[in-house]
Homo-oligomer: A and B are copies of this chain.
Amino acid sequence: MRPGLILKLSSPDQSGIVAKIASYVASHRGNLIEFNQFSDRVGKKFFARLEIDTSDLDVTVEDFKTGFGTLGRSLQATWHYRTLPYKMRTAVLVTKTDHCLNEILLRTELGELPIEITSLIGNRDNCAPIAERAGIPFHHIEMDDDLREKGFREIRNLLVDQNVELIVLARFMQILPDSFCQEFSGKIINIHHSFLPAFIGANPYRQAHERGVKLIGATCHYVTADLDAGPIIEQEVERVSHFHSPADLSRLGRHCERIALAKGIRYHVHDRTLIDGHRAIVFPD
């Protein structure tokens, strides 16, 4: 990851907006490494992501960012800067299964995900050995029955203490309280083990088997208070047949889950996503 800046921005769509933004960057000798934008004709909104090489800037990076404020406000924009290189402070929440967790660890080691896993949190302790092996603190938080509310308070406090920017639900089998979803809005990524919006709810692989579908899938999405209806970041499918048992579908689905979640996290941590109501704008790499 090169030194530089990523600027994410959304605003009402308006004439000349690309010129204004690109001109600001050029006026300070910022060099555009990548510039993605999207003018939504239907919603009349503008979305952009700029990756800027700052090595030739004629001002400090801080002044560059501050100076953008005047333009940003005149565009009625919402924007976000990230200084490169960086590692996103990330918590991973799990229950029993570990295939998604292992995929995240593997991709992180391969240098594909610029994250620092500050903690692994489980309402079961099955994944504790993996955390130990990877040198990550593991927090076993009991959440059954009466302990659920207390458990979420503990998790919340952990995340706040550790200044976490991303919470990955890697097959975490607990429904989040609304207040939790709201406090960490736009920072929680889930992997749903079906091709949403089909098979909402429990045991989608059994549902898929009974229905005899010819493709199964997985959906990586932001979590909102509205269960399984958060903005979709990535989806994967795999072809299946009548001879696949529910266990086979589960195995093939696991594969989709690993891929969709890994891609979804990658897009998020590289600031390639912008949330727009029920949708996510994604500029993939």
Contact = CB atoms under 8 A, between A and B. Distances in A.
A131 to B, nearest CB: 13
A248 interface: yes
B232 A214 contact: yes
Interface in A206-256: 209-215, 217, 231-235, 237, 239, 241-246, 248, 251, 254-255
Q: Is the interface of A mostly helix, strand, loop or mixed?
A: mixed
A11 interface: no
Contacts of A106: 99, 102-103, 106
Contact of A237 (B29, B215, B231): B215
Interface in A236-280: 237, 239, 241-246, 248, 251, 254-255, 259, 276, 278-280
Interface in A197-213: 197-199, 209-213
Contact of A235 (B213, B248, B254): B213
A23 interface: yes
A80 B33 CA distance: 24
A6 B87 CA distance: 40
Given A15-B29, A197-B199, 18 more contacts: A18-B35, A19-B26, A19-B27, A20-B26, A22-B22, A33-B39, A41-B245, A47-B242, A102-B106, A196-B198, A196-B213, A211-B279, A212-B278, A212-B280, A214-B232, A214-B234, A214-B235, A237-B237
